[in-house]
Amino acid sequence: MMTLDDVKAWLKNYDGPSMRIMEVCGSHTGAISKNGIPGMLSEKISLLSGPGCPVCVTPSAYIDRLIELAMRPDTCVVTFGDLIRVPGSSKSLALAKGEGARVKMVYSPLDIIPLAKKDPDTIWCFAAVGFETTTPVYAALMDELIRDDIRNVRLLTALKTMPEVIDWLMSSGADVQGFIAPGHVSVVTGADIWKPLAQKYSIPFGVAGFEGPELLAAIAGIVMNYGRGVVKNYYPRVVTPEGNRTAQKEIDRYFEKADVVWRGMGKIPGSGRVLRPEYSFFDAGSRGLDEDHKKNKACHCDEVLTGRITPRQCPLFGKACTPVNPQGACMVSTEGACLSWLAGGRE
């Protein structure tokens, strides 16, 4: 049995092989900054922020398409708050709003149902971004739409899946010796989903929660398993080995695997989901949104997202690229690696 103080002392005094550990969940990135964790670790342990913010990895073509929809007189785009300021190839939804685009911010995708019922003459289009955690919510929304025969709701999807992008990162030679596995993705997928990757690359995966002590414990556990292809579940209060089977079935009912584009990384096989053809009525044109123009050529979001550089190593960081005038998506969401590092003063 170790106490929290034991773990803290162990992490601070660790003197084994150097380890670069990547977190691939924006909420982990945020929690690490918020708890001041980087300063609690030995110099032999460094934390990197991977592609863990779904908003940050949407390609510019997706934002452009959203803006095009929002500018239509009969359409209103409904979205989570942090997507509003992500730059497309020329502007963001926030800027388009100033030019007359209709955009509404909500807490839950299900909030679109009362909107659609109240105003049947408008097409309500949800900006359906997310990883495995959020995809079942869209599936549940589809259930409701079909059951209540609501015909004026569409989804513009940018749904991504985590294992494929981690595989892509590792096979592209990322210098990473362990992963903090995303806690809430794992609630849906189950902790076992990381096993093939852990074994393939002989690196430890630790599923972590979001409280400071949970994260410290997970980091210690990952370091202790250096070089071993194991998966450890440090978030057992909600994560099981097999995940939420009902949610997985719901996802499969409405969405099929697809090759999708990640901002700055290009197309990664099987790394996303789109509505199945039989539900294309509900699709606002999500397929083929592959173009990915950088607003600023000097933006290094892609290298940040893949852990090749830290946010502070980007020449635009905090200078030409700020939260007020973001050049890349990583500076937009509070979960984005760059904004999280800037706001948290992470070095």
Partner 1 sequence: MAEKITMAHGSGGRSTDELIDTIFAKEFDNPVLDAMEDSAVVPVTGKIALTTDSFVVTPLKFRGGDIGRLCVCGTVNDLLMRGARPAWLTCGFILEEGLDIGLLKELTASMAAAAKEAGVRIAAGDTKVVEGHGGMYINTAGVGIFPKETSAAASGICASAARASDAILVSGTMGDHHAAILSERMAIETDIESDNAPLVDMVGNLLASGLHIHTMRDVTRGGLGTVLKELAAASGKTFTIRESAIPVNPKVRSFAGLLGLDPVYMGNEGKMVVILPEEEAQQALEIMRKSRYGSQAAIIGRVTEEKPGELLMETDIGGLRRLDVLQGEGLPRIC
Partner 2 sequence: MCVALPGRVVSVDGEYAQVDFEGNEVRALAGLVKVKPGDRVLVHAGCILQKLAADEADSMEEIFREIGEEFA
The partner in contact with residue 283, picked from partner 2, partner 1, none with C-beta cut-offs of 5 to 8 angstroms by kind, is none
Least separation in angstroms between CB 94 and partner 1:
9
Interacting residues toward partner 1 by CB under 8 A: 4, 8, 26-27, 30, 33-37, 39-40, 53-55, 80-82, 84-85, 105-108, 111, 129-131, 133-134, 212-213, 216, 322-324, 332-335, 339, 342-345
Q: What is the enclosing helix (H) or strand (E) of 9? A: helix 4-13
β-pair partners for 159? 130, 273
User: Backbone phi, then psi, for 208, in 5-degree steps?
Assistant: -125, 150
Least separation in angstroms between CB 171 and partner 1:
25
Please identify, using beta-carbon distances, which residue of 130 and 328 lies nearer to partner 2.
Answer: 130
- Asked if residue 244 lies in contact with residue 136, where contact means CB atoms within 8 angstroms, the answer is yes
Token pair 């409701």 in the structure block, residue: 144
Q: How far is CA 246 from CA 143, 183, 194, in A?
A: 13, 18, 19
Residue 201 is encoded by which pair of tokens? 């690359």
The partner in contact with residue 97, picked from partner 2, partner 1, none with C-beta cut-offs of 5 to 8 angstroms by kind, is none
Interacting residues toward partner 2 by CB under 8 A: 1-4, 6-7, 10, 24-27, 52-54, 80, 107-111, 130-131, 133-134, 136-137, 140, 143-144, 182, 184-185, 187-188, 213-214, 217, 220-221, 224-225, 232, 234, 236-238, 244, 246-247, 250, 335
Distance (Å, rounded) from C-alpha 331 to C-alpha 312?
12
Least separation in angstroms between CB 242 and partner 2:
12
Closest to 52 (Cα-Cα) out of 139, 160, 157, 135? 160
Please identify, using beta-carbon distances, which residue of 264 and 326 lies nearer to partner 1.
Answer: 326
Please identify, using beta-carbon distances, which residue of 60 and 225 lies nearer to partner 2.
Answer: 225
Q: How far is CA 215 from CA 31, 34, 248, 294, in A?
A: 8, 12, 26, 34
Name residue 35's amino acid: N
Least separation in angstroms between CB 312 and partner 1:
13
Distance (Å, rounded) from C-alpha 60 to C-alpha 91?
9
* Radius of gyration (C-alpha) of the chain in whole angstroms: 20
Please identify, using beta-carbon distances, which residue of 201 and 262 lies nearer to partner 1.
Answer: 262
Please identify, using beta-carbon distances, which residue of 208 and 342 lies nearer to partner 1.
Answer: 342
Please identify, using beta-carbon distances, which residue of 140 and 320 lies nearer to partner 2.
Answer: 140
